[in-house]
């Protein structure tokens, strides 16, 4: 875990040194809503080498509403991802389910670092299951768990490309139906449906065109309750998207997640898909 955090720190230093561009946000509101649908299908008929029929789909909806004023910038973002996969005769199973809302208010002052105030929430939309010998055991659902963050600190922005911030933070983990898995502190006798932590939060995002048709969108989030170095929560989400035509993209998504309260090992998820993309705003 220490090697992983060292690597992430090096990457953060690299992105922070990236040269600035001249693109500026327009004054007033900037609005964007982009939808993506990924489909993957495989079917076999008298195939001598064997195999299982499969069908997978995933939909992503990303919204961004930014108010750029002479004295402040107010950024509101929303992400929704949901997908399922069906293999052979098995019932369709959930492959991804994520809802995230975030609001960041940053003052414009004549200093290198700008003060900010942020709030965010993360949860899922449907019940999640763990499959043990073909038996489905529910382990999560809407607002179970739910994560809430509030942060106050200083940030640095290269508009439309690079954003980073660091501040004192509050974190609430709410899981009334599954407290043993997410919110409960095993060192105490009382079962906690709501876990409250005070610490430090860091968020860094980079959106950069690698070529005229390829975009990388990466976000690294860290939270520490300042108790132990190996208890830093890590969420690193990176998307590479290559435009094939006006509506077709090839997308590679890599997610690294670490939260010692949930698992002592890091969790990794990656997907590669051909998708349909439509911009509503």
Query: In this predicted model, what pLDDT tens digit does every residue of 152-165 receive, in sequence order?
Result: 999 998 877 899 99
- At 180 the pLDDT is 92
The answer to whether position 74 is within a domain reads: no
The answer to whether position 213 is within a domain reads: yes
| Strand ranges in the chain using DSSP code E only, listed in sequence order | 28-42, 54-68, 72-87, 93-107, 114-123, 128-132, 135-140, 146-158, 162-174, 194-209, 214-224, 233-243, 248-258, 267-279
The answer to whether position 122 is within a domain reads: yes
The answer to whether position 87 is within a domain reads: no
| pLDDT above 90: percentage of residues in the chain | 60
Per-residue pLDDT at 211 exceeds 70: yes
- Two tokens, residue 250: 């090839």
The answer to whether position 24 is within a domain reads: yes
Domain carrying residue 34? 2-38+104-279
- At 49 the pLDDT is 78
Count structural domains, the chain.
Answer: 1
The answer to whether position 88 is within a domain reads: no
Of 18-22, 157-161, 198-202, 241-245, which has the strongest mean pLDDT?
198-202
This prediction's pTM = 0.84
Query: In this predicted model, what pLDDT tens digit does every residue of 64-84 receive, in sequence order?
Result: 999 999 999 999 999 999 999
The answer to whether position 79 is within a domain reads: no
The answer to whether position 230 is within a domain reads: yes
């Amino acid at each position: 875990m220490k090697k992983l955090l060292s690597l992430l720190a090096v990457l953060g230093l690299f992105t922070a040194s990236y040269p600035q561009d001249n693109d500026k946000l327009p004054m007033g509101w900037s609005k964007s809503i982009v939808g993506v649908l990924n489909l993957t299908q495989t079917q076999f008929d008298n195939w001598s080498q064997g195999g299982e029929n499969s069908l997978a789909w995933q939909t992503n909806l990303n919204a961004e509403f930014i108010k750029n004023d002479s004295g402040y910038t107010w950024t509101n973002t929303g992400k929704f991802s949901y997908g399922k996969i069906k293999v052979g005769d098995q019932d369709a199973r959930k492959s991804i389910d994520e809802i995230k809302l975030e609001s960041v208010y940053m003052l414009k002052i004549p200093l290198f670092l700008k003060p900010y105030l942020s709030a965010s929430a993360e949860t899922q939309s449907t019940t999640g299951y763990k499959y043990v010998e073909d038996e489905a055991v529910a382990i999560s659902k809407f607002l179970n768990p739910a994560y809430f963050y509030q942060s106050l600190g200083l940030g640095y922005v290269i508009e439309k490309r690079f954003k980073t911030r660091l501040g004192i933070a509050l974190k609430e983990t709410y899981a009334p139906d599954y407290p043993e898995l997410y919110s409960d502190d095993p060192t105490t006798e009382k079962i906690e449906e709501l876990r409250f932590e005070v610490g430090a939060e860091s968020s860094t995002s980079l959106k950069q065109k690698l070529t005229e048709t390829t975009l990388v969108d990466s976000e690294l989030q860290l939270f520490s309750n300042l108790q132990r170095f190996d208890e830093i929560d890590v969420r690193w989400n990176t998307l590479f998207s290559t435009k094939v035509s006006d509506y077709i993209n090839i997308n590679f998504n890599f997610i690294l997640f670490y939260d010692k309260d949930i698992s002592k090992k890091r969790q990794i998820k990656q997907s590669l898909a051909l998708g349909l993309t439509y911009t509503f705003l």
